[in-house]
């Protein structure tokens, strides 16, 4: 795991994304996160914290999206990330995402796979994919609805706007907001309390609630729609405009 640091601090597993400067999600980083989540499933670990450095994860590496249009292969980054987020979500122990800086696109989708999200006061979160002519593809359309409600989720996905920590807290997207230097410390302290609890009962409660979450069919539909958009002119234009650092000129096709 060259792009992720995994440590066991007592009975707490800590996953640290380490692809500076902004932890842009490429295939190697997603693969390393998957390995770390696997390590975090060890029964000796009773809580998990996932975090980054200055930034949690500022979305997908758009250059990898650009490469999709130059080949006949469908992009698998979103599918792979979606599987990782689901594995994180299904860990049978409490999980906390300690978010500093940006958690955008796939970064927010990853954070939403945790049970709780602690945000730095200056953190920014959002699902900006619409600005590229695509949609969230790793669970964003599904988990966001379940966290903030139907209408608020539609507005956030349709606009692609970034949300500051205070608004995220008011929406229910954040559970706590803290000074940047205190986020990880607070997450570790809370994880320590969860780790001292009845782990089997906590895991059972989590499984029971997820069983009623009804997310699997929605995730399949989201991924199918995401992949289909890579045949659209707007997705090609949106991704190229981002790479070329200019405004996109969408045609609606």
What end-to-end distance do the CA atoms of the chain give, in Å? 40
Q: Are strands 47-51 and 12-17 parallel, antiparallel or unpaired?
A: parallel
109 counts as catalytic: yes
Residue in 40, 47, 60, 78 annotated catalytic: 60
Q: Quick count: other Cβ atoms within 10 Å of Cβ 191?
A: 27
10 Å CB burial of residue 112 (0-12, 13-18, 19+) is buried
Residue in 52, 82, 106, 137 annotated catalytic: 106
**Distance from C-alpha of 75 to C-alpha of 146, rounded to nearest angstrom:** 26
Residue in 89, 109, 190, 222 annotated catalytic: 109
**Pick from 151, 156, 157, 175: which is nearest to 165 by CA?**
175
60 counts as catalytic: yes
| Cα 91 to chain centroid, rounded | 15
Edge to edge, what strands does the sheet with 102-104 contain? 102-104, 124-126, 163-164
Omega before residue 21 within 30° of 0, cis:
yes
Helices vs. strands in the chain: H and E counts, helices first: 11, 9
Residue in 89, 129, 190, 222 annotated catalytic: 129
Q: Which residues are catalytic?
A: 60, 106, 109, 129
């Amino acid at each position: 795991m060259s792009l992720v640091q995994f440590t066991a601090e007592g009975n707490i597993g800590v996953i640290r994304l380490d692809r500076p400067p902004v932890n842009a999600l490429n295939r190697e980083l997603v693969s390393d996160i998957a390995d770390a989540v696997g390590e975090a499933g060890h029964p000796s670990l009773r809580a998990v914290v996932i975090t980054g450095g200055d930034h949690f994860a500022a979305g997908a590496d758009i250059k990898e999206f650009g490469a999709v249009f130059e080949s006949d292969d469908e992009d698998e980054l979103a599918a792979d990330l979606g599987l990782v987020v689901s594995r994180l979500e299904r860990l049978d122990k409490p999980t906390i995402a300690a978010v500093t800086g940006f958690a955008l696109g796939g970064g927010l989708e990853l954070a939403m796979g945790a049970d709780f999200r602690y945000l730095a006061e200056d953190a920014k979160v959002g699902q900006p994919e619409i600005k590229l002519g695509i949609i969230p593809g790793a669970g964003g359309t599904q988990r966001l609805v379940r966290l903030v409600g139907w209408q608020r989720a539609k507005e956030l996905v349709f606009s692609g706007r970034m949300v500051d920590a205070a608004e995220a807290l008011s929406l229910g997207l954040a559970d706590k907001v803290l000074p940047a230097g205190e986020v990880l410390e607070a997450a570790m302290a809370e994880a320590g309390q969860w780790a001292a609890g009845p782990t089997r009962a906590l895991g059972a409660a989590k499984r029971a609630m997820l069983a009623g979450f009804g997310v699997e069919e929605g995730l399949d539909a989201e991924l199918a729609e995401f992949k289909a958009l890579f045949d659209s002119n707007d997705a090609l234009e949106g991704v190229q405009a981002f790479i070329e650092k200019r405004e996109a000129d969408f045609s609606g096709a």
